[in-house]
Amino acid sequence: MKIVVMGAGALGMSFGGFLAKARDADGKRSHDVTLVGREMYLAPVKTEGLTITGILGGHKVKGLKAVTDIKTPAAEYDLILLTTKAFDTEKAMRQIKPLIGDAYVLSLQNGIGNEEIIAKYTDKVLGGMVIIGFEIAGPAHTRVTVFADNVKIGRLDNRVDKELKEIVEIFNDAEIPTDAVGNIQRHIW
């Protein structure tokens, strides 16, 4: 799966790292992950790889694509993780609008109203709830500090369908404990 993480700070880099390190049965990388974020965070990731430590274990991920601006043609990605601050949702969606194509856009942001903004740009919107704490521990190093509950992912229309289950399976295979839920709005805060 081709995945873009838009707003790759502590949470975005960590999720991107976990997804990028997932392997298939033959030991090959399962996902092509591109991190989009600030140069000060991503420059060291390009040269050193990403180290993730903390309560979900220690991991070193090399070969992550890390950019400050994304210009790949539309319809090339399968999933876009939106991990920007809530006040940057509209700006981020304008930037990635040409990339959306048939991709799902999954908000992993704090706060309410983000999914409604995303829905102005695509009907393939997924909401997410994350009660896992992440921090930037140093250059190219994130730390998982808190794990209060599994990630919750759901559709705005409350359906739990094959596509949602497949995305949740991808997260679980990447060692991100995740559940598909029928009413994501109940979980988002």
For position 130, what pLDDT does the model report? 96
CATH number at residue 36: 3.40.50.720
pLDDT band at 76 (very low <50, low <70, confident <90, very high): confident
Query: Which pLDDT band holds residue 72 (cuts at 50, 70, 90)?
Result: low
Whether pLDDT at 75 is above 70: no
Domains in the chain, number: 1
Q: Which pLDDT score is estimated for 99? A: 84
> Is residue 73 over pLDDT 80?
no
Domain extent for 89: 2-187
Q: What is the side-by-side strand order in the sheet with 59-61?
A: 59-61, 50-54, 141-147, 132-138
Per-residue pLDDT of 78-94, as tens digits, reads: 999 999 999 999 999 99
Segment 39-55 mean pLDDT:
95
pLDDT on residue 188: 87
**In the prediction, which pLDDT does 30 show?**
87
Q: Collapse the DSSP code of 51 into the 3-class scheme (helix H, G, I; strand E, B; otherwise coil) and give the result.
A: strand
Query: Residues 63, 45: contact at Cβ < 8 Å?
Result: no
Mean pLDDT of the chain: 93
In the chain, % helix, strand, coil (3-state, to 5) comes to: 30, 30, 40
